[in-house]
Structure 1
């Protein structure tokens, strides 16, 4: 990266969620709490799945990957935000800003793919239970784990390579709490038409297939659930599916709102709220929705906690 030949900016200023000094302590406490809850919840899930051989199945492999992606996603933005509030400094270097943007794209896109993979896994388990082990063999599970990682990095690399070609002249104040692609494009003094076109086309392609797979899977699951004779069984299944779908719709709704609506109708506050939802709130909520309501996961966590308590 030949920064000197491309831009006169050596650092950006992250203006954060609010410029009101009296709100900074509140924001620090709130986001620190959310960060610690997210790290604890997802960390326990990864540990429980890794240490309990009973959970070494495709579903929990995908759950562990989702938890790792959530931990990584929130860690790309919140620690820097907390540091800036604590030190009363808004600066982030050009290189660190580009790096932060790269990894934020990687883990948001990875979440997107993993939600599709997990929906397909549940579809096979519920709609084709007798063929589950035949379909979800080790080779397919490895592919369904590796391909999202590869595609996520390719998407992030494409956007990063296009972004570093842009000029940043005199404006360096980023009205955001982390280096996100959309507000960075608005700061550039270069023509960003190609960047925005690639963002739209690639983003639409990346979102369409997983979302279509999720819709197909859950429609099939709901049809299968309706055939259950037990009212209690139906209610339990609909409760689980409903909570999954709420998180999925929230995730996709905020991403579409931030990245795919015309820039003319965007507002800074709406973009920041959307970014908080899919980079901070959803990583915190995912463990409770996907894992901590699961009977086997609860048993594994109790076993893990009891083991730790016994060792102490």
Structure 2
């Protein structure tokens, strides 16, 4: 009876992270600190520009500001804790902290999956239905789609978090990862987890593949519409409108599918850690760069805001 105690009887978990590579920890600490600073700066800039420039008050930038807020919350829920662990001061996380981290990171990740699909539909409406665009993407519909993304993401996260922490861990509390993540937590189980893994795999398929199907369908229609445009300038403008989103979608979905839709017997702890580093640190940092470097509207808004600040001084 004592052996079958659940994780809730723990005071917490030990996040081993990269403790077997002390030299790598120092390098990671410096790199993460720099990347996290750029992530905060980039995503906060996009959110601020959306609120400050009326020209950006369109469905596309409404969803983009939501995406930036998601990335900001996602990385902030993981990186500061990881930096503390890398500093060597403390590698522990409380049981409640682990539950909160898993629930929030999974909820934000699922929300982003759905939101990227919604953004693909927005690009489809802009390119394929330009005359009806303002009618189709009405502000009320945009708010409804964004809200639905958040509700679905965190509802799915609640289900998967509960299923994860119902698994008996039999006193094991050393997590071979730098964050509380489902594949690593399941590795601590002292029972057969085949059924739970199958349920979670099914949920991951729904969360990932339905938005991917929506994105694929939308971009199939978009490419078809662009190829019918006779003007080369018009085709470049249309591709430019969708290019940034397509790059972000490819990075995010590609990494998520690689991380969550592979058999558990193929799951390597080191592989999982480096994959998690990519989508928790690198992608949230590079998303604002992709959108600002390739987007004339965002760059124009930045110039206007900086000019206003400079003239005010």
Q: TM-score, normalised by structure 1?
A: 0.92
1:223-242 Cα shifts (integer Å, max 9, x gaps): 12212333354345446645
State the match for 1:33 in structure 2. 34
Partner SS, residue 209 of structure 2: helix
Q: 2:133 aligns to what? A: 132
How many equivalent residue pairs?
309
Counterpart check, 1:84 vs 2:82: no
Show the counterpart of 2:283: 282
The 2-side partners of 1:228 and 1:78 are apart by 45
Q: Which residue of 1 aligns with 2:169?
A: 168
The structural deviation recorded for 1:47 is 0.5
Structure 1 residue runs without a partner (length 5+): none
Offset, 1:250 = 2.6
Which runs of at least 4 in structure 1 moved beyond 6 Å after TM superposition?
A: none
Displacement of 1:87 in angstroms is: 4.0
Q: Secondary structure at the match of 1:277?
A: helix
Can you list the C-alpha shifts for 1:228-270, whole angstroms capped at 9, x where unaligned?
Answer: 3333543454466455434322322221222221111111122
| Residues in 1 aligned to 2:22 and 2:5: alpha-carbon distance in whole angstroms | 37
The answer to whether the 8 A contact 2:84-2:91 is kept is no
Give the match for residue 258 of structure 1: 259
Q: What's the counterpart of residue 12 of structure 2? A: 11
Does the Cα contact within 8 Å between 1:168 and 1:188 map onto a contact in 2? Answer: yes
Does the 8 A contact of 1:45 with 1:301 survive in 2? no
Three-state SS of the structure 1 residue aligned to 2:294 is coil
SS of residue paired to 1:167? coil
Offset at residue 175 of structure 1 (A): 1.7
Q: Output the aligned Cα RMSD.
A: 2.0
CA distance in 1, matches of 2:78, 2:192: 27
How far apart are 1:293 and its partner, in Å? Answer: 2.1
Give runs of aligned pairs for residues 59-138 of structure 1, distance below 5 A: 59-138=60-139
When residues 220 and 307 of structure 1 are mapped into structure 2, their CA distance, relative to the original with a 3 A threshold, is same
Are 2:121 and 2:218, in contact at CA under 8 Å, matched by a contact in 1? Answer: yes
CA contact (8 A) 1:9 1:169 kept: no
1:296 aligned residue: 297
Please state how far the C-alpha of 1:271 moved relative to its aligned partner.
1.3
- Structure 2: tracts of 5 or more residues without a match: none
Shift of 1:186: 1.1
Where 2:282 maps in the other structure, the secondary structure is helix
In the alignment, is the contact (CA less than 8 A) between 1:31 and 1:82 conserved in 2?
A: yes
C-alpha displacement of 1:291: 4.1
On the 8 A contact 1:159/1:195 being kept in 2, the answer is no
Per-residue CA deviations over 1:100-126 (Å, capped at 9, x if unaligned) read 011110111111111111110011001
Conserved in 2, the CA contact under 8 Å of 1:251 and 1:277? no
- SS of the residue corresponding to residue 81 of structure 1 reads helix
